[in-house]
Structure 1
Amino acid sequence: MSGFDIKDPKLAEGGRLRIEWAEREMPVLRSIRERFAKERPLSGVRISACLHVTTETANLMRTLQAGGADVVLTASNPLSTQDDVAAALVNVFEIPTFAIKGEDNVTYYKHLRAALDHQPHLTMDDGADLVSTLHKERRDLLSNVLGGTEETTTGVIRLRAMAADGALAFPIIAVNDALTKHLFDNRYGTGQSTIDGIVRATNVLLAGKVFVVAGYGWCGRGLASRARGMGSNVIVTEVDPLKALEAVMDGYRVMPMTEAAKIGDIFCTVTGDINVIDRHHFELMKDGAIVANSGHFNVEINIPALEELSQGKRLVRPFVEEYTLKDGRRIYLLGEGRLINLASAEGHPASVMDMSFANQALSVEYMLKHHAELEKKVYSVPEVIDQEIARLKLESMGIEIDTLTPEQVQYLNSWEEGT
């Protein structure tokens, strides 16, 4: 095994137990790992992965390893690493890992470069930082890279921009586009885990609070639903008229952030864009407002503007910074504006990541087989993979569904019969 950089090797046993606990809720990935162990479809392939270092990710790494891959893992967010999991990956499963919870920006990029030193044939990214660094700093490695995968909405947006500019040097499969990923991971996973992170950080009662959700994509839908389920009065802010209309039809109040800022108790951004909560919004917020982010990067909240508006700040609870504005109002920023579901909680439940990481494993296998025929652009997960993952998930839950009869197939493929 090559080098690694983790917080404390002595945490490995606790990490192993939690990885095993998560595995119980990941039957689809487990079935893929069993097949991979027999067929070894990834033998001799070097994979550099930049993902949140969690128990679920550990089980993905084990699956790739079982398939014969030589894997190196680095964190995709400075606050999302679970240090006991990183220790177990290194000491129990012998997977080189570069990740320490709370690492600074310099260390974060040092770890990205360490993962690239692996000279990957395939990349696996969560936010496109690894691919971006590869293209900017290590172009000497590009000729070795066959392709990659991307997990997040934010990363897919960045990579499609690269492809549009002609800058992308190899094909990428957008795992986030898979229906078995964004319909479930983004909606149910983000919804539950973001509420979990906010509550763990603050211990506030959500019932009766005005909860502002910025963005009504699949993550926003899930978060709004769970906040309402906890008794919050939910407001949605949007820039897309179709999504805004959908939020209205789903029973939420919809208004601009400038209006929501005046009445919100808790704010959470899930858009993937920059400065969604900006200086003029902070100037309108009431004393005690809580601000969090569950989009991939902390740029969704204009933290420099909040710093400029404040006369001081202090850490009042783990992951809760109190900013005192010059007029005396206090605004509470959670998790340094980073993904709150991973900063103060454990990220998505394993059962939903089971499908997301099954997509990762099967997409890597697909990329290895088909990279030569793919252009240097971003592709959606093939429908056959999506369907197979859904089938395996239902099977693991003991649920059976109907199948079309030959007569029904013929009817759906014909045009002659009408009224």
Structure 2
Amino acid sequence: MTGTAEARYDIRDIGLAELGRQRIAWAAREMPVLRLIRERFQGERPLEGVRIVACVHVTTETANLAYTLRAGGAETAICASNPLSTQDDVAAALVADGFSVYAVKGEDHDTYYRHIHQALDHRPHIVIDDGADVVSTLHRDRRELLEQVLGSTEETTTGVIRLRAMAQDDVLAFPVIAVNDADTKHLFDNRYGTGQSTIDAILRATNILLAGKTVVVAGYGWCGRGIAMRARGMGARVIVTEVNPIRALEALMDGYLVMSMREAAPLGDLFITATGNLHVIDREHFPLMKDGAILCNAGHFNVEINLEALAELAAGGRRQLRPLVEEYRLAPDRAIVVLADGRLVNLAAAEGHPASVMDMSFANQALACAYLVANHRKLEATVYPVPEEIDREVARLKLASMGIAIDELTEEQETYLRSWQHGT
């Protein structure tokens, strides 16, 4: 696992590099945990000679992860995990700093997968995935590379679902660490990051006033919780739709209206999907919606809104109203508006999660990569949680960076918690 390849790339404009560097440096100010890990990596070099392929949203926060991996000794090639999420100035800065990057904002489907294959040409030992597209491509089309892959990490709920299905079918060829499932990831990134960045993207794209609007949030997982919380905080009435009775009950007791999508369709002014599933807003729902209803998606893939069915229903055609805002006219007096072509709205129409919350997610990524390199021989080809010691270390470092101290158990308390003799 040695050797450094010359940087290769396919990006929009290398001339944007200086702007990208400025924005990366701004994000770094909000990522103290990753900075501490980078300093540790510079001394320990746990990734010396390791080739990493990172299929990620190419953002300022991701760039800081890339620099941390390099500090640990890794050679990292980067491709986009979503056709609309790349920040072209960041891609340029990374190339200027010697990384191989294959990512252009707005790339089409064929280019997206060509970029994945170009990244895989770097013959990775470790894969950092965001939606499992690289891992699935490896198993489907690039099986000659599987033998040298030590393991992978996965950033998203959607990706973890796909990877667990692969493990269940006994086709997964190497161990995967589900970074998404770390407490210091999903409790903060998914809830507070998605909540804030989704609302931010909707407002940037449309400039609508949320106060007084009825917002329908499909899915009450951690992402849906965050979106519902922020929409209510902006003065909206919030309806939650769910298929899980426990989550539906939780949403009800958190103070939201809960109903089926069919019931919610005539009521909503703004619909936000966050389920990770297919056709959550479907053909049957569009005719029920009011004129001007706005639809967007905060899930990983652009399948949650059935856009093919909507296009078939749009007898009056389609037109662009603003950047990333498209109108589907169902009748002369009624239209439905879709944001960002149904793709991940917070990254297509805004900048994604704030750096402060990505600090913890990417700290988990960096430490999980080092863990895989050190322990891959002990691991089976299945999906593992982030080791608890990594999760707790990330939380400890984050608290320390914020100047917050917490209590520690005394020896007496630890003994009590291990005992069974004490009673009433």
Question: Which residue does the alignment assign to 1:157?
Answer: 161
Question: Which residue does the alignment assign to 1:241?
Answer: 245
Question: Which residue does the alignment assign to 1:104?
Answer: 108
Contact persistence 2:8–2:99 (CA under 8 A): no
Alignment of 1:71-90 (within 5 A): 71-90=76-95
Alignment of 1:263-282 (within 5 A): 263-282=267-286
Contact persistence 1:216–1:243 (CA under 8 A): yes
Contact persistence 1:214–1:237 (CA under 8 A): yes
Residue 13 in structure 1 maps to residue 18 in structure 2: yes
Residue 134 in structure 1 maps to residue 138 in structure 2: yes
CA shift, 1:197, in A, is 0.4
State the TM-score, normalizing by the size of structure 2: 0.98
Measure the CA separation in 1 of the matches of 2:368 and 2:7: 26
Measure the CA separation in 2 of the matches of 1:370 and 1:4: 32
Question: Which residue does the alignment assign to 1:382?
Answer: 387
Measure the CA separation in 2 of the matches of 1:327 and 1:15: 44
Residue 43 in structure 1 maps to residue 45 in structure 2: no
CA shift, 1:3, in A, is 1.4
CA shift, 1:327, in A, is 5.5
Question: Which residue does the alignment assign to 1:360?
Answer: 365
Residue 260 in structure 1 maps to residue 264 in structure 2: yes
Measure the CA separation in 1 of the matches of 2:16 and 2:358: 23
Residue 304 in structure 1 maps to residue 311 in structure 2: no
Which of 127, 135, 138 is residue 123 of structure 1 equivalent to?
127
Measure the CA separation in 1 of the matches of 2:274 and 2:252: 18
Contact persistence 2:7–2:98 (CA under 8 A): no
Q: Deviations over 1:220-250 (max 9, x none)?
A: 0000000000000000000000000000000
Measure the CA separation in 1 of the matches of 2:331 and 2:120: 45
Question: Which residue does the alignment assign to 1:3?
Answer: 8
Contact persistence 2:7–2:95 (CA under 8 A): no
CA shift, 1:345, in A, is 0.3
Measure the CA separation in 1 of the matches of 2:394 and 2:338: 38
Residue 206 in structure 1 maps to residue 210 in structure 2: yes
Measure the CA separation in 2 of the matches of 1:242 and 1:257: 17
Q: CA RMSD in A?
A: 0.6
Contact persistence 1:78–1:100 (CA under 8 A): yes
CA shift, 1:53, in A, is 0.3
Question: Which residue does the alignment assign to 2:320?
Answer: 315
Which runs of 5 or more structure 1 residues have no equivalent in the other structure?
none
CA shift, 1:283, in A, is 1.3
Measure the CA separation in 2 of the matches of 1:37 and 1:88: 21
Question: Which residue does the alignment assign to 1:222?
Answer: 226
Contact persistence 2:269–2:293 (CA under 8 A): yes
Contact persistence 2:219–2:240 (CA under 8 A): yes
Contact persistence 1:287–1:329 (CA under 8 A): yes
Measure the CA separation in 1 of the matches of 2:127 and 2:305: 29
Question: Which residue does the alignment assign to 1:189?
Answer: 193
CA shift, 1:266, in A, is 0.1
More deviation in 123-132 or 322-331?
Answer: 322-331
Measure the CA separation in 1 of the matches of 2:148 and 2:82: 26
Measure the CA separation in 2 of the matches of 1:374 and 1:206: 48
Contact persistence 1:309–1:326 (CA under 8 A): no
Which contiguous aligned blocks of 4+ residues in structure 1 show a shift greater than 4 angstroms? Answer: none
Which of 145, 168, 171 is residue 167 of structure 1 equivalent to?
171
SS at match of 1:211: strand
Contact persistence 1:216–1:247 (CA under 8 A): yes
Contact persistence 1:190–1:223 (CA under 8 A): yes
Question: Which residue does the alignment assign to 2:65?
Answer: 60
CA shift, 1:326, in A, is 3.7
SS at match of 2:285: helix
Alignment of 1:281-360 (within 5 A): 281-311=285-315, 312-326=317-331, 328-360=333-365
Question: Which residue does the alignment assign to 1:372?
Answer: 377
Contact persistence 2:84–2:106 (CA under 8 A): yes
Q: Deviations over 1:323-368 (max 9, x none)?
A: 1014541100000000110001000000000000000000000011
Measure the CA separation in 1 of the matches of 2:204 and 2:8: 34
SS at match of 2:217: strand
Which runs of 5 or more structure 2 residues have no equivalent in the other structure?
1-5
Measure the CA separation in 2 of the matches of 1:114 and 1:361: 23
